[in-house]
């Protein structure tokens, strides 16, 4: 379990904008530590976002996504009070889900 995600979701004119900031190292597997040993790859590779229980976005990521990944997208529909849930799975099989309410 990583640290909590920051999720902001706001509905305006029938469109809900969802912004997610995740907390993850996103290690590429290309870097070496001080002793020259390769630091193994460790990154989020799947992200699923749901609005009001319905999957609206599924992303597959590689190690080229920045550390502490940011993701923003918009969905038609949604209203204040709807639940947004975001789940990520990383390459070690770790997973985390966080929820937020649309404002």
* CB nearer another protein, residue 73 or residue 80: 73
Asked whether 97 and 44 are in contact (CB, 8 A), the reply is: no
Residues 6+ apart with CB under 8 A from 93: none
Instruction: Give the nearest distance from C-beta 65 to another protein in angstroms.
Output: 6
Residue 93 interacts with another protein (CB under 8 A): yes or no = yes
- The angle at the Cα of 66, spanning 53 to 86, to the nearest 5 degrees, equals 10
Nearest to 95 by CA among 28, 46, 52: 46
Q: Residue 90's CB: how many other CB atoms inside 10 A? A: 20
**Site residues (CB under 8 A) for another protein, limited to 6-35:** 15, 26, 28-32
Judged by CB under 8 A, the residue of 57, 83, 85, 98 near another protein is: 57
Instruction: Give the nearest distance from C-beta 101 to another protein in angstroms.
Output: 19
Residue 41 interacts with another protein (CB under 8 A): yes or no = yes
Instruction: Give the nearest distance from C-beta 84 to another protein in angstroms.
Output: 13
């Amino acid at each position: 379990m990583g640290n909590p995600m920051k999720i902001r979701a706001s509905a305006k004119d029938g469109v809900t904008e969802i912004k997610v900031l995740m907390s993850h190292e996103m290690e590429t597997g290309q870097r070496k530590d001080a002793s020259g040993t390769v630091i193994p790859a460790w990154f989020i590779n799947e992200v699923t976002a749901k609005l009001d229980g319905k999957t609206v976005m599924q992303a597959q990521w590689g190690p080229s996504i920045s550390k502490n990944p940011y993701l923003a997208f918009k969905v038609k529909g949604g209203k204040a009070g709807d639940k947004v849930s975001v789940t990520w799975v990383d390459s070690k099989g770790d997973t985390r889900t966080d929820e937020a309410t649309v404002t």
